[in-house]
Structure 1
Amino acid sequence: MSEAKNEAANAATPPWEAKRPPTGRGLMRKLVIGLMVAGLIGVVAYALKARPVEVEVGVVQNGPLTVYVSEEGKTRIRNRYIVAAPLAGSMQRVTLKPGDEVKCNETVLARIEPSLAPLLDARSRAQAQARVDGAMAARSRANEAMDMARTGLKYAQTNWDRIKHNTDKGVISATDRDAFQREADMKAGEVRAAEFALQVAEFELTQARAAMLQLESPVEDGKSIEVRSPVNGLVLRVQQESATIVAPGAPIIEIGDPGDLEIEAEILSRDAVVIQPGAVVTVEQWGGDEPAKARVRRVEPAAFTKVSALGVEEQRVLVLSDFVAQTPALKALGDRYRVEVRVVVWHSDDTLLVPAGALFREGSEWKTFLFDDGMARAVTVKAGRTDGKLTQVLDGLKAGDEVLMHPPDTVQDGSAVVKRDEPK
């Protein structure tokens, strides 16, 4: 009966119109198309869904923090002596070379054949006598300075002998004990420097008297004057090697003791204001396997202008440091050797620290992103001092907080994030 109805309906349908499919097949086709469209919509929605951003996480924790000022420096000999010609004459060729050892009042640095004085006038005699008097006054001043230095050493050594065994009894702190010891060592160094100065004064007096003798009775028979070393040390530079006619005061040779080294570093003035004498200095990149220790002796009060490699004018200050101990390895260092210094300007044994890579500027405030159960939460942080790797936290974070390290620009407050070492 139904087949007859279908045939009658088909017969009644014009040939130019499509035949209608059976009712059951049309529903199945619609269902399949609907499922395909729904699946495509689901795939597109899944692709457009925001995924958690992979981030690296750091931990806020307590620990020590030391803030340094780092700069290039160079070594230099503390006491340098330029030996000059005591009088006019014909100087023979200097045979010494840089690095040769010289001994006080023994090593002959140069030989000068004096020229005859053309006229022994009153002015020349008065000038020579004035030089002798000035050299005698300089020797007296050097004697007084040495006496004062010895007095200061005696006082400092007495204080050091009195308290150096008191630390075990708890009478004074270790810091005060080190200060008394450093004071005694510095006074001993001042005594040595005063002795060197006295030797130089004696040598200058001898030179002045020799010049006076030459004015009164010139040397005959080709006898030359020997210029001897005023101190023990090494030849640093020969300023006039060839034989020549020299004038009084012409520099001939420079000598010094390489064992008496100090470090000079040109520090930016804004960093030098926080450096104090006695600050700990770490000397690196000097050629040895281990960093050397030094202490700041002096921060010079006057700055100077220096043009950087980028053409920027900078105000810099000379900071002078002394090695704490002369180890055998440090004996390889010479004058004007390049080093790198790190001067301690602040230290704390226990403070709250956050990795410096987790902080970023927003206006005039420091901020960071907290990792809060898969969400990034922006917080404002009050930052203190930093050494470039760790930063002191004064407010805004607590120990144990997890913060995002170097967050990308796609991370905002409330963004979904996931730790890089965890599966998605």
Structure 2
Amino acid sequence: MNEQKSPWKTPRRWAIVGLALLAAAALLYAVYRPRPITVEVAQVTSGKFEQVVEEDGQLRLKNRYVITAPTLAQLQRPTLKVGDAVQAGDVVARLAPAAPQLIDARTRTVLQQRVGSADAARRAAAAQVQRAQTALAQATLEAGRSDQLAQRGFIAPSARDQSDLARRSAQQALTAAQAEQAMADFAVAEARAALAQAVPTAGERPAGLWEIKSPVNGQVLKLHLDSAAPVTAGQSLLEIGDTAAMEAVIDVLSGEVRQVLPGAAVLLTTGSGAAPLPGTVTRVEPVAFTKVSALGIEEQRVNVVVALPTVPSDAARLGDGFRVDARITVSSQADAVLVPSAALVRDGERWRVFVVDAGKARARAVQIHDRNADMAWVKDGVKAGETVLLYPGSTIADGQPVRTR
């Protein structure tokens, strides 16, 4: 009786089974193996690290001159416009004497009566002058007659002296009467002037314009009055300044301003496509003020004054109050190992990054010395030239295959 062989024990059958198992294993590996994740990467570099404070502010003039009216007057219509250039000594405003005030009929009657009273007093003074002149003439004749009689010995010398003294007294009386007449004339003129001011001539313009001149070379920044109008003493008429001599005022959060010191370098950007303007912090004001942010949050801010050494020709069109973005450097370190801040991942109390090595992401702990919004200054953990992942998410783990975008 022949023994029947199992088909599974033949070599050919075993080869087929082995190939099937290998194919199934390859399929499972292909399905479940870790697939590379497309990531963004950046290079670790070596360069200058800067800690900066970035805020916005505005330009302002170093020296502003406010032209005011010296007295009560009538401002003539200005001929200057905002932006016009003026030189020191140019006439920038003209003032005319103020127009007289209107009065009622009762006051006008009183002024008219005052003129009549003054005129009567003047006539009385004129009469006193004539009386004194007559008395002087008589005294002069008596003195001459007494002198002739005294020379002939008909009267005593004392009588001649009395006549001479009487002539001198009459002369003094005439002088006093003439002074009284002059005072009466002035009183009449004063009363008539008051009455004339009360009733001005129609269409008549006061003469004697005052010309106010510019104290410096500059431009007209503001016109407080652009038409003819009455002004009071000390009232502002216009403002003049030199736009070539400006400074910037940056308001910084009070919590950050302690890092800013006088002498710190500043770059100002006007946002107009022009090159940044270099500046230097000259003063940090010792008082804060409250400012409401765009989100409606009240913030305590401090003004930082920045000096601009020179204003280049391409920035000549900048003016008072223009907005600027400021970048204030508070610290700087050369030859620092720099890693983008977007590559840092918090690991408890430490920081780590993912370094791309042979197509895989390798987690590596790093020691951070300082960092800003863009870069981190790394003391240990990576070196310049290595590639790190940017914005690593929760799907990235140590050893994860990656593919750079």
Residue 99 of structure 1, aligned match among 74, 83, 96 = 83
State the match for 1:235 in structure 2: 220
Structure 1 position 344 matched with structure 2 position 329: yes
CA contact (8 A) 2:345 2:392 kept: no
CA distance in 1, matches of 2:402, 2:273: 45
Q: Kindly tell me: are residues 66 and 223 of structure 1, through their superposed partners in 2, closer, same or farther at Cα, counting changes over 3 Å?
A: same
Structure 1 position 297 matched with structure 2 position 277: no
SS of 2:392's partner is coil
State the match for 2:338 in structure 1: 353
SS of 2:259's partner is coil
Q: Kindly tell me: are residues 50 and 285 of structure 1, through their superposed partners in 2, closer, same or farther at Cα, counting changes over 3 Å?
A: same
Q: Kindly tell me: are residues 304 and 48 of structure 1, through their superposed partners in 2, closer, same or farther at Cα, counting changes over 3 Å?
A: same
CA distance in 2, matches of 1:377, 1:38: 31
Q: TM-score by structure 1 length?
A: 0.62
Please state how far the C-alpha of 1:256 moved relative to its aligned partner: 0.9
State the match for 2:95 in structure 1: 111
Please state how far the C-alpha of 1:341 moved relative to its aligned partner: 1.8
Please state how far the C-alpha of 1:68 moved relative to its aligned partner: 2.3
Matches within 5 A, 1:262-273: 262-273=247-258
Residue 306 of structure 2, aligned match among 306, 311, 321 = 321
State the match for 1:284 in structure 2: 269
Q: Kindly tell me: are residues 35 and 286 of structure 1, through their superposed partners in 2, closer, same or farther at Cα, counting changes over 3 Å?
A: closer
CA contact (8 A) 1:56 1:404 kept: yes
**Which amino acid is the alignment partner of residue 304 of structure 1?**
F
SS of 1:302's partner is strand
SS of 1:336's partner is coil
Matches within 5 A, 1:10-89: 39-40=23-24, 42-89=26-73
Aligned residues: 302
After superposition, the CA RMSD in angstroms is 3.4
Structure 1 position 391 matched with structure 2 position 376: yes
CA contact (8 A) 1:85 1:251 kept: yes
State the match for 1:368 in structure 2: 353
CA distance in 2, matches of 1:261, 1:295: 13
Please state how far the C-alpha of 1:33 moved relative to its aligned partner: 8.6
Please state how far the C-alpha of 1:389 moved relative to its aligned partner: 2.7
Structure 1 position 244 matched with structure 2 position 229: yes
**Identical counterparts, % of pairs:** 36
SS of 2:319's partner is coil
**Which amino acid is the alignment partner of residue 223 of structure 2?**
V
Matches within 5 A, 1:102-251: 102-114=86-98, 222-251=207-236
Gaps of 5+ in 1: 3-21, 119-217
Moved more, 390-399 or 319-328: 390-399
**Which amino acid is the alignment partner of residue 73 of structure 1?**
G
State the match for 1:169 in structure 2: none
CA contact (8 A) 1:112 1:226 kept: no
CA contact (8 A) 2:274 2:314 kept: no
Q: Deviations over 1:60-115 (max 9, x none)?
A: 44322122222222211111121122112222222211112223333232323235
Find the structure with the greater CA-based Rg: 2
**Which amino acid is the alignment partner of residue 260 of structure 2?**
I
Gaps of 5+ in 2: 103-196, 198-204
CA contact (8 A) 2:224 2:238 kept: yes
Please state how far the C-alpha of 1:375 moved relative to its aligned partner: 4.9
Please state how far the C-alpha of 1:321 moved relative to its aligned partner: 1.4
Please state how far the C-alpha of 1:57 moved relative to its aligned partner: 4.5
CA distance in 1, matches of 2:26, 2:403: 27
